[in-house]
Amino acid sequence: MAADEGADQGGSGFAVVLRRHRLRAGLTQEELAVRAAIGVRTVRDLERGRASRPQRTTVELLSAALGLAAADREAFLAAARGQAPDEALPPTAFLRMPPPPAFELVGRDEDLDELAGRLSATDGPRGVTLVGIAGVGKTSLGFVVAHRVAGFYPGGVAGIVVTDNASAGELAASVAAGFGVGRPEDLTPRFGGRPALVFVDAVERAPEAAAEMLAQLLGRIPTLRFLATGRHPVGLPSERVWPLAPLLTPPTESETTLAEISAYPAVGLFLERLSRVRRTPLEPEEIAPLATLVRRLGGLPLAIELAAARSRVLTVPEILDRYGDRVLDLSRPGGAGPETVVSLRDAVAASYRLLNAGEQHALRRLSMFRYRWSLALAEQITAGTQTDGSDVVHLLDRLLELGLLSVRGSRTFRFRLLDVVRDYGAERAAAEGELLDGRRRHAELLAELTQDIAPDLVGNRLFDAASRLDDVAGDLGAALAFAAREEPEVALRIAASLPRWWRFRGRDVSGRQWLRRLLDDPRTADADPAVRAWAKVGLAQLALEHGAGAEEIESVESAVAEFEHLGLAAGQSTAHTMLAALWMTTGGYSASRRHGEAALALAQRSGKVRDMAVAENNLIWHEIREGDLAAARRRLAAVDQLASDGGDDRLRAVALANLAEVARLQGRPDEAQRLGRRAMIELERIGDPNHRRRLLATIGLALAEAGHSSEAEEVLTRLRVSDDITPDGPAAVVEAAIALRRGDQKLAAEFFGRAADAYEGAHDPRDVVEALVGLIVSTPDAEERAAGIRRLAELLRSNGITLVARELDRLGPEVVAQL
C-alpha cells in the first residue's frame, strides 16, 4: 500500500471523511479517480487537505463512485461544505484517530499535562470523561490528549463519534472497525493483552448506549481504557470525571497593554481567531475593550470564536457595545440553511435540560449571584427548591459534574456559575416570573451577611472581616443597586453596615453617596431606628475623610439621642467618638474634648478595653493641640497598654504612628522615622490606606529634617503614587521639607504654600500649622511672609492651638511676638 493510501494522514475534515470512505470501499486513489472520472491528482489533493472545499460536481461524482448510501451521502456532502467530520458521521461510523488538529490548543497546558499523565500511568483510571457546557473545548482537548498518550498504548488508539439514536451494538461495532477488526468479539485477540485506548466523543447524544457499550468492552477487555467527552459523565464506576472550565481571562485590575492581557488564554484565543478574519492589528483604543469583552464572554471558547467572527464588520469596542449585555444572542449559521443555528443560548439550554425541575429552580436562584459565593450562601438562596430533599452539596456536585460551575479555594471553597450559565439562569428566572423575588432574596441575604460581619470590622478582626466582604464586593454593589430601587430599607441595612469597610478600602466618597441617598429616601423614614442611627454615624465617618465632617454634626447628635433612647451603649460610645472628631473640624474644641471624655467614660463603665484604648487615643490630639507633648506621650503609653491587653495589633500600630508624629514634633526626627517604619509594617499588613498616607508624611518629614534627603525622596515617590487627592497635601509638604533641607528656599516656600492650601478645611488643622510654619521660615518674599504670619495667627487663635517648642524655635522671637 502506498504511503498516501495508508492510515489517516491528517488534513481538513473533508480529507479525513474522503479517505475513510475510500479505504472502506477498498479502493486506491487511482481506482477512485477512474470510477469518478476525475484526475488522480484531484483525489490526492483533497485527501491531503489542499482543497478543503471542492466543487459540488466533484463531490457528487466522488459520492457516486464510492457507492454511498443515503445517510453516508448526506454526511459526505456536509463534510464537503465545511461541517466538522464528527457532525457528518452516521451512527455506525468509526473514526481512526487523525494527527492533532492544525490549530493550537490555547490555554489548556495544565489540563493536557495532567490528563496525559493519568492516562499514561499504569495505575491510572480505566476511563476519563471530559464534561462541560457545549463550546468549552472538550473535543479539541480530547483529540490532543489521545495523540499525546498514543505511544503508551501499543494495542492502538481509535476514536468514535456518538450520534443521535445510536445503539450500544452500533457503537461497539464502530469501535471494532476503528481498531481494524470486523466484530467487537475480535478486539481481545486484536489487542493480545496490550493496552489500548478508545476515544468516545459526544456521549450525551446516546448516553445509555454509550454507557452500555463501554461497560461491556471494559468488562471483557482488561487492557482497554477510554477517554470520553460529553455534557455529562458516562456514569461508570471506574470513570474519572474531569469538568473542563472556560479559559482564564484578565482580572478587572489587570494592566491594559496588549502584551499584558495577551498572556491570558482567553485573549490569546480571541487574537488567534481575529487574525483569521481581519488583517489589521488591534488599535490602541481596542485593547481595554478586548479585556472587558473576554471577561464578559466568560472565557468560553465558543463565545470567543463567535464574537471574534464579528470582527469582519465590527471593531472590538463595537462588538462589546453590541453584545456585551446580550452574550447569549451570539450565534453562527451552520449547515445548508438558516434553520440550522449554533448559538450560545442553545448550548446552555442543552445542559440546562439535563437538570431536573428542582435543580433548574435552584440554578435560577443561584444566577442571582454575580460573582463567587460560599456554600452557606448557596444553601440560603436555594432553600426550598429541592423538593426531593437533597441538600445543597448534592446540587453543587451535580452542577460541577455538568461543567456549569467553577470552584476555587483550598481551605474554604467558593463557587461561581459560568457567566453564560448565570445569564441564562437569570433569563429563565424572568421567564418563570421569579426574577424580582430572586433579586429580593439575594439583597436580603447580603444584608444579613453584612450585618453579621460589621461588628468584626475592628481591631485584629478587621482584616479578616474586610476580606470576607471583599469576597462578595461585586454582589454587594448589585444588591445595593437593586434594593435602592425596590427595597430601600434593605439597602439601608447593607449600607449602614459598610462604612468601616468602605473607609478601610479607600471608598469613602462612594460610600458616603450611598448613605446620603438612602437616608434621604422618604421610604426609609420608618426603617429600624437603630439602623438609621448607625447609618448617620457611618455617614459622618466617611464625610470626615474628605473634609466634610462638619456637615454631619447634627445628624450624629440625633444618633446619640436615638442610641440613648434604645439603650445601646456601643452606639452611644461610637457616636460620641465621632462627634469628638467632628467638632474638631469646626473649632469646637471644648465640645470635642467633652464628647471624647464621654466616650472614655462609657468605655470605662462597660469595661471594654478596646473602647477605652480608642477613646484615649482620640484624646491625644487635644494634648498636642495644647502643646503638651509629654501628656500626649503618657496617653499613648496608656493606649499601647490597653491595646496590648486587648490583643489589638491594629490599634497598637496606630498608636505607634501617633507616637512617631509626637517624636517628630519634639524635634527627634531619627526616633520619629524609626517608630514610623515599625508602624508602617503593621499598617501595610492590615491595610488602612488613610492611616498609611498620614504616616508616610510623618516619615518623609522626619527623614528630610534629619538630612536623609534621598530616603525622603523615596517616601515622596510612594506618596505621589498612592495619593489621588488633588491638590496633594502630604506629598507637597514632604517635597517642601526636602527642598528646604537642600537650601532651595524658593521651591520650599512654593510647596509649603501648596500644602497649606491643600490642608485647609481638613479635619486636622495642625497639618495647616505645619505647612504655614514651613512657609514662613522658608519664603524670601517679605509680603508673602507677612501674609503667612497673619494666616497662622488666625489659625492658632480660631483653633486654640499652641505651638510646640520646636516650632517656636524655628519661627524665632520676632515672628512669635506677632502671633
Overall average pLDDT of the 464-486 stretch: 93
Reported as a single tens digit per residue, the pLDDT across 502-532 is: 998 889 899 999 999 999 999 999 999 999 9
Three-class secondary structure of residue 198 per DSSP? strand
Q: Which residue has the cell 494495542?
A: 155
The three grid cell numbers given for residue 578, joined into one nine-digit string: 465621632
Angle, vertex CA 496, rays to CA 490 and CA 501, nearest 5 = 120
Reported as a single tens digit per residue, the pLDDT across 715-725 is: 888 887 654 44
454: confidence class by pLDDT, cuts 50, 70, 90: very high
Instruction: Give the CB-side neighbour count of residue 753, counting CA atoms within 13 A.
Output: 16
89 pLDDT more than 60: no
- Pairing, β 239-243 against β 127-131: parallel
pLDDT recorded at residue 7? 37
Q: Which residue has the cell 453584545?
A: 323
Angle, vertex CA 147, rays to CA 142 and CA 152, nearest 5 = 115
Q: What secondary structure does DSSP assign to 330-390, as a single string? A: -EEE-SSSTT-EEEHHHHHHHHHTTS-HHHHHHHHHHTT--S-B-HHHHHHHTTT--TT--
- Judged on CB neighbours under 10 Å (0-12, 13-18, 19+), 579 is buried
pLDDT recorded at residue 96? 46
**Distance from C-alpha of 408 to C-alpha of 421, rounded to nearest angstrom:** 17
pLDDT recorded at residue 391? 85
Reported as a single tens digit per residue, the pLDDT across 631-668 is: 889 988 888 888 888 888 888 888 888 899 999 999 99
83: confidence class by pLDDT, cuts 50, 70, 90: low
- 661 or 57: which leads in pLDDT: 661
In 3D space, the residue among 568, 570, 575, 573 whose CA is nearest the CA of residue 541 turns out to be 575
pLDDT recorded at residue 688? 65
In 3D space, the residue among 33, 31, 34 whose CA is nearest the CA of residue 42 turns out to be 33
9: confidence class by pLDDT, cuts 50, 70, 90: very low
Name the residue type at position 47: E
Query: 271-275, 300-304, 404-408, 691-695: which has the minimum mean pLDDT?
Result: 691-695
Reported as a single tens digit per residue, the pLDDT across 196-242 is: 999 999 999 999 999 999 999 999 999 999 999 999 999 999 999 99
What is the DSSP secondary structure assignment for residue 226, as one 8-state letter?
E
Overall average pLDDT of the 129-151 stretch: 90
Average pLDDT, the chain: 86
2 pLDDT more than 50: no
Query: 23-27, 64-68, 430-434, 560-564: which has the minimum mean pLDDT?
Result: 23-27
437: confidence class by pLDDT, cuts 50, 70, 90: very high
**Distance from C-alpha of 230 to C-alpha of 130, rounded to nearest angstrom:** 6
pLDDT recorded at residue 35? 78
Residues 6+ apart with CB under 8 A from 103: 140, 272
Beta bridge partners, 196, equal 224
In 3D space, the residue among 707, 716, 760, 753 whose CA is nearest the CA of residue 734 turns out to be 716
In 3D space, the residue among 75, 87, 72 whose CA is nearest the CA of residue 134 turns out to be 87
What are the residue ranges of helices labelled H in 567-608?
569-586, 589-606
- How far out from the chain centre does Cα 289 lie? 17
Reported as a single tens digit per residue, the pLDDT across 756-805 is: 888 887 667 888 999 999 999 999 888 999 999 999 999 888 888 899 99
The three grid cell numbers given for residue 181, joined into one nine-digit string: 477488526
81 pLDDT more than 80: no
376 pLDDT more than 70: yes
Beta bridge partners, 332, equal 342
pLDDT recorded at residue 84? 43
- Judged on CB neighbours under 10 Å (0-12, 13-18, 19+), 360 is middle
Judge if the upstream peptide bond of residue 246 is cis by omega within 30 degrees of 0: no
138: confidence class by pLDDT, cuts 50, 70, 90: very high
Q: How far apart, in Å, do the first and last CA atoms of the chain sit?
A: 109
Q: Which residue has the cell 487615643?
A: 617
CA dihedral in degrees (306, 311, 317, 322; nearest 10)? -50
CA 441, 442, 445, 451 torsion-angle sign: negative
- CB-based contact 592:576 (threshold 8 Å): no
Overall average pLDDT of the 314-319 stretch: 92
Overall average pLDDT of the 458-466 stretch: 84
86 pLDDT more than 70: no
The three grid cell numbers given for residue 665, joined into one nine-digit string: 514634633
Q: Which residue has the cell 459526505?
A: 76
Reported as a single tens digit per residue, the pLDDT across 658-705 is: 899 999 999 999 999 999 899 888 888 766 677 888 899 999 999 999
Reported as a single tens digit per residue, the pLDDT across 97-116 is: 444 444 457 888 899 999 99
- CB-based contact 610:639 (threshold 8 Å): no
Residues 6+ apart with CB under 8 A from 310: 319, 322, 323
* Report for 75-79, 175-179, 356-360: range of highest mean pLDDT: 356-360
User: How would you label 751-772 residue by residue, b for 16+ Cβ within 10 Å and e otherwise?
Assistant: bbbbbbebbeebbbbbbbbbbb
What is the DSSP secondary structure assignment for residue 234, as one 8-state letter?
-
Instruction: For the beta carbon of residue 783, count every other beta carbon within 10 angstroms.
Output: 8
439: confidence class by pLDDT, cuts 50, 70, 90: very high
- CB-based contact 524:492 (threshold 8 Å): yes
In 3D space, the residue among 658, 697, 650 whose CA is nearest the CA of residue 675 turns out to be 658
pLDDT recorded at residue 271? 92
**Distance from C-alpha of 414 to C-alpha of 432, rounded to nearest angstrom:** 27
384 pLDDT more than 90: no
Reported as a single tens digit per residue, the pLDDT across 40-51 is: 778 887 877 766
489 pLDDT more than 60: yes
In 3D space, the residue among 573, 620, 610, 611 whose CA is nearest the CA of residue 595 turns out to be 573
- CB-based contact 354:231 (threshold 8 Å): yes
Overall average pLDDT of the 543-554 stretch: 86
From residue 773, give the alpha-carbon distance in Å to each of 463, 751, 815. 38, 12, 10
pLDDT recorded at residue 259? 86
Q: What does the radius of gyration of the chain's CA atoms come to, in whole angstroms?
A: 36
In 3D space, the residue among 167, 6, 155, 198 whose CA is nearest the CA of residue 90 turns out to be 167
From residue 142, give the alpha-carbon distance in Å to each of 88, 91, 241. 18, 20, 13
In 3D space, the residue among 439, 442, 415, 417 whose CA is nearest the CA of residue 429 turns out to be 439
- CB-based contact 220:179 (threshold 8 Å): no
339 pLDDT more than 50: no
70: confidence class by pLDDT, cuts 50, 70, 90: low
Residues 6+ apart with CB under 8 A from 154: 194, 195
Query: 32-41, 269-278, 330-339: which has the minimum mean pLDDT?
Result: 330-339
Three-class secondary structure of residue 15 per DSSP? helix
What is the DSSP secondary structure assignment for residue 310, as one 8-state letter?
G
**Distance from C-alpha of 634 to C-alpha of 690, rounded to nearest angstrom:** 25
* Report for 184-188, 277-281, 449-453: range of highest mean pLDDT: 449-453
Longest dimension (CA), the chain: 117
* Percent of the chain topping pLDDT 90: 47
Q: Which residue has the cell 525622596?
A: 713
Helices (H) and strands (E) in the chain, counts: 42, 10
- CB-based contact 776:815 (threshold 8 Å): yes
